Chain A
Amino acid sequence: VRLRRGWLLVLLLAAALVPTGIGASLLAGVRDFLAAVALREGAPSWRLLKAKDAEISPAYVLPAGEWVSFHVPRDQSVLRVLTNAELPQAARDALPTPLPEDVRWAYGVRYQLLDSAGEVLLEREQHFHTRITEYHDRDVQALITGVYYLDRGDVALADGRSLIVNLGDAGGEASVLRLKLAYADPPLTGAVARVYGTDEAAAHKLRYLWQRLHPDRKMRMARGNVYPPELLSEQEKRNLLRHRLKAVAPSGVEGSDYLQRTLYVLREIDQEPVRERPLPAGLIADAGRRAVVPLPEEGGRVRLVFEPLGEGAAAGGEILVRWFGKGLGQRATYRVPWKGSRAVFERQLGGGLLEVEAARPVVVRAFAGPSAEEITPAQVLAPTYLLQGKTPVEFEVAHVGGEATPVRIDLREFVPAAMPGAPARGPAGAEVRCQVLGAAGRVLRELRLPVKAPLSVYDRLRSGRGDLAVTEPVTSYLSLGPGAAGLRFLPADAPVAVAVYNRPGTLRRVTQVPEDYYRANREDVAQRGWFLYRPDRYDELLAADRVTALSVQARPQQDDPEVVAGRFKWEDFQPRGDWRARQLLTPRDTDVVFRAEALPVTYVELTPGRDTPLRFSPQAGREELPLTLLYISEKSGPLKLAVTVDGKPFHEATVAGARGAVVLPRLPEAAKGKHVVRVTASRPARVYLNYLDPGKGPALVKRLAIETGPEGLEFDYDKVSPEQEALSLTLYRAPDAKARTRLRVRLAGAPPPAAGPFATWTFRDRVYDLRPAGGEPVPVLGTETETVDAGQRFFFPMGADLPPGRYRLRLEVEEGPGGYVVLTRTLPGPYEERRFFDD
């Protein structure tokens, strides 16, 4: 063993000071050093390396059963007790680094003040929370703590916690302070204490003591000041020196009356504590969560910047960026290689949503437009209430004018944070008991609501500084009649959170189209569908830590795979009574799979006067091809049209209008397949032919559009499914229309909804505030020059609260220009259909 010369000096000094008591501490330090050196194998520990910088401070073990006594020095008004809890180093090592911010360990110290006769004047218990603050020391290249044992490397010391004992509270002259450990929650195993009184320095020494202090000491003493020690006033300096802490030793004999430990205290640590970093700005994406970025309606140049999250971010794999535009065909997936450092994705995209999926934790920020304006969405938080607890969570139910009040209940199960080393647990699939209360709290009915859903990849439950995984919401809708006065959610064993929304029963649902479809934050829409409200005794729930916040994101639309594959039933509806309609030639959505059912109404443009090779596609079951030729010209007047098939004259017609349709003679089914067709026109015109598969190419679709008219329209609609069906409406207006249209759509005469619960809900009275669509003008057949805009599409979902049956849908233009409306329904999946042909 090679001892340094400095340590030999310490040994000599300690020997000389043994009679004073100070030497005992020094000797203890030397003993610890020798023990640490003797045990060392290979490289010395940081404890040993930092020992030369540490002050040695004796501390006394607080036993759980016995008291440790300290005589109170004279002329004291308070005593300071500095305690440090102990825990096994292995318990600390089992936790991650940096130590999570929410790690806190509890312990308590019991203390008594006694008079000179041994009578207890005061007895109290002081509770503490502690943790370990660690620093990364550059010199020794290790994590260190400010206080430690040199000879007990298997024990870690937690941060000091102080107790100030006000002797004046004793109600008499206190002679003895007694301490013991009240409790120490695992992983804490005990605690040590140091007791200090104060000693007043002589006034004449105050003048020069400051000059003799080491600059580091001055800096430490003045740390409560906003300015450096040099700028302290003379009075402040004297005040700092006036009272000095003076250690108080316990009474009795070491080993029998108390146990002493030697603490190594590092006074000067100039590094910042190693702490969890605050989350950087942006959205987090990792293996269990996706980030969603809404794109503005106009789209533009979009730039995503990815940064690694956390220390030692791993490289490898790729980041998936999925784009969801307006229609089914507007979908794309892009792959960004991930090398563990900053990466950038840039692309021209239309409005909609971007979804980011990453296997490694990343933070993403989004920018768009020529000025690269940041479009990273702000976090949206929604309060939610935990059902785990002793008391139920109750919501009052109010009514407007005796109407039933629609209520939405969102239940989610969350996954509590697993203890370190414990396996992560998934959602258990709980069941929640919900009582509908009448007057005076009488239970009218009890519902059992299941909470079984997959974990959400979009939402998180906020918990302290971290997030917990939650399931997707299980939503139930109720219609609560005037007799219902409240909802009571009984305490649940499972970790379940509830949020309750409502809306006035008579309130019309207003939607701005298309703006609301692009507003990912539902609080920005013209009118929210549902409004959160607070439960009773909110304050008590808050105090019991049962009010938490859900961090929620917008979701990309889930495309129905049947619709994507072209397997669906499409229907359009005509109104009741008298109505007027026109046929519109609207551009076909080239991103949607072409279906044979659309052959009769889909028209492909031919170049007049030129042979065009074509392949006719008959509909299944038909023996003939009932071809129709459409023409559009700039001017009206006689127009002679001639059609040849494979060089042979097929049909000739002279028409008068600028636009119209010519029904051609039927081709036999045997004529399907390749042919060469030529259409000639006597003057400039555009011509179109049906029964041709356009594939991905452009084509026009002939639609029957109903004039809205001043009286409004009524459609009879047969709901065939108990689940939700979505009606799609498109309003076509004059291309030069500037004003918005307020179109009211409601269910007329439908019976009120049953009590529920239902999985989906129908807003039965809706107003659509429709912006003019713009776009390429759409020709109106049968007119000389009329065109309409590209059409504004909107939806009227018919929820599960409407059982299958016939419903009447009424449309009225309340304000702004009318036009033509098309009402359709798409039912996903294969379907059975009987067709009758007149071949």
Chain B
Amino acid sequence: VDGGRDVTGYEAAGSLQASYLPQARNKELALVWLSPLARFSYRQQAENNPQVAQFRALGIPTTEGDLYQRLAASKGRASVAVPAALRKLVEEYTRTQDVVLLDRARAEGRGLTLERFIDSGTQQAFLLIQGGPGTVPLVANLAPRDPARPETVRRDRPDEEGVRAFVRTRALWFEVGGTR
């Protein structure tokens, strides 16, 4: 905080935590302020009622479980191939939350199955795009950190560390082995 007008009120001085500093030596305190936009990605999505209503209206089922176990159970080696247009629609949907785009994504994904999946550990909501046997569902975080700049976590296999990292970073896509 440099004293500027736009950061007025964000000073660390005066906070209860800062008042401990005189009891310590060579210690520093930093306060991190998170904007509502940053916090949005870390909100629990299981009870995102508008989102629930959209998926229910379009007949896309919602299930809950552990994301890593769900992906590992697919026993596939690579993520299902998904048309670029469908990817684009999903990315646009996460930005605008427009049900028409979600409906178009459903239409674009003919032959694929869409499912809303709640990761029980983090209560984050994901879209699983599933293909035939032997493929891993392509996963999209429905509340990514930065919908305008979609990021992808790519792994050779749906390993636990990779899936947890994907959930933790709020990247938009999780992909295994490059799409087939």
Partner-contacting stretch, out of A121-129, A464-472, A723-731: A121-129
Contacts of A8 in B (CB 8 A): none
Could you tell me the distance between the alpha carbons of A504 and B22 in the complex, rounded to whole angstroms? 61
CB atoms of B99 and A239 under 8 A apart: no
Contacts of A242 in B (CB 8 A): 25
CB atoms of A162 and B14 under 8 A apart: yes
Q: Given A162-B14, A398-B98, A523 and B20 touching (CB < 8 A)?
A: no
A501 to chain B, nearest CB (A): 9
CB atoms of A239 and B25 under 8 A apart: yes
CB atoms of B100 and A400 under 8 A apart: yes
CB atoms of A534 and B95 under 8 A apart: yes
- A485-519: which have CB < 8 Å to B? 502-504, 506-507, 510
CB atoms of A542 and B98 under 8 A apart: no
Partner-contacting stretch, out of B45-53, B68-76, B136-144, B154-162: B45-53
Contact of B13 among A162, A502, A527, A543 (CB under 8 A): A162
The answer to whether B9 has its CB under 8 Å from any CB of chain A is: yes
The answer to whether B17 has its CB under 8 Å from any CB of chain A is: yes
The answer to whether A748 has its CB under 8 Å from any CB of chain B is: no
B134 to chain A, nearest CB (A): 31
Q: Given A124-B3, A400-B107, A531-B53, A224 and B19 touching (CB < 8 A)?
A: yes
- B135-180: which have CB < 8 Å to A? 148
Q: Mark A748-766, 1 if CB is under 8 A from B, else 0.
A: 0000000000000000000
CB atoms of B103 and A504 under 8 A apart: yes
- B1-30: which have CB < 8 Å to A? 2-5, 8-9, 11, 13-14, 16-25
CB atoms of B53 and A239 under 8 A apart: no
Contacts of A507 in B (CB 8 A): 57-58, 103
Contacts of A400 in B (CB 8 A): 100, 103-104, 107
Contact of A224 among B18, B37, B58, B97 (CB under 8 A): B18
CB atoms of A531 and B21 under 8 A apart: no
Pick the most buried of A223, A240, A531: most chain B CB atoms within 10 A of its CB: A531
A229 to chain B, nearest CB (A): 11
A462 to chain B, nearest CB (A): 13
A662 to chain B, nearest CB (A): 53
Interface size of B by CB at 8 A reads 42
By beta carbon, the residue of chain B nearest A522 is B53
Could you tell me the distance between the alpha carbons of A492 and B27 in the complex, rounded to whole angstroms? 51
- Interface class of chain B by DSSP: helix
The answer to whether A528 has its CB under 8 Å from any CB of chain B is: yes
CB atoms of A128 and B21 under 8 A apart: no
Contacts of A225 in B (CB 8 A): 20, 23
Could you tell me the distance between the alpha carbons of A524 and B50 in the complex, rounded to whole angstroms? 10
CB atoms of A239 and B3 under 8 A apart: no
CB atoms of A531 and B9 under 8 A apart: no
CB atoms of B57 and A127 under 8 A apart: no
CB atoms of B3 and A398 under 8 A apart: no
Contacts of B19 in A (CB 8 A): 223-224
The answer to whether B81 has its CB under 8 Å from any CB of chain A is: no
B150 to chain A, nearest CB (A): 15
The answer to whether B36 has its CB under 8 Å from any CB of chain A is: yes
Could you tell me the distance between the alpha carbons of A502 and B107 in the complex, rounded to whole angstroms? 18
The answer to whether B101 has its CB under 8 Å from any CB of chain A is: yes
CB atoms of A527 and B24 under 8 A apart: no
B146 to chain A, nearest CB (A): 9
Contacts of A164 in B (CB 8 A): 13
By beta carbon, the residue of chain B nearest A243 is B22
Contacts of B20 in A (CB 8 A): 224-225
Could you tell me the distance between the alpha carbons of A538 and B35 in the complex, rounded to whole angstroms? 13
The answer to whether B43 has its CB under 8 Å from any CB of chain A is: no
The answer to whether A222 has its CB under 8 Å from any CB of chain B is: yes
The answer to whether B122 has its CB under 8 Å from any CB of chain A is: no
Chain A residues within CB distance 8 Å of chain B: 104, 106, 108, 124-129, 162-164, 221-225, 232, 236, 239-240, 242-243, 396, 398-401, 405, 502-504, 506-507, 510, 523-524, 526-528, 531-534, 536, 538-539, 542-543
Please list the 8 inter-chain residue pairs (A to B) with the smallest Cβ-Cβ separation, ordered nearest first: A224-B19, A224-B20, A126-B3, A523-B49, A531-B99, A504-B103, A533-B98, A398-B100
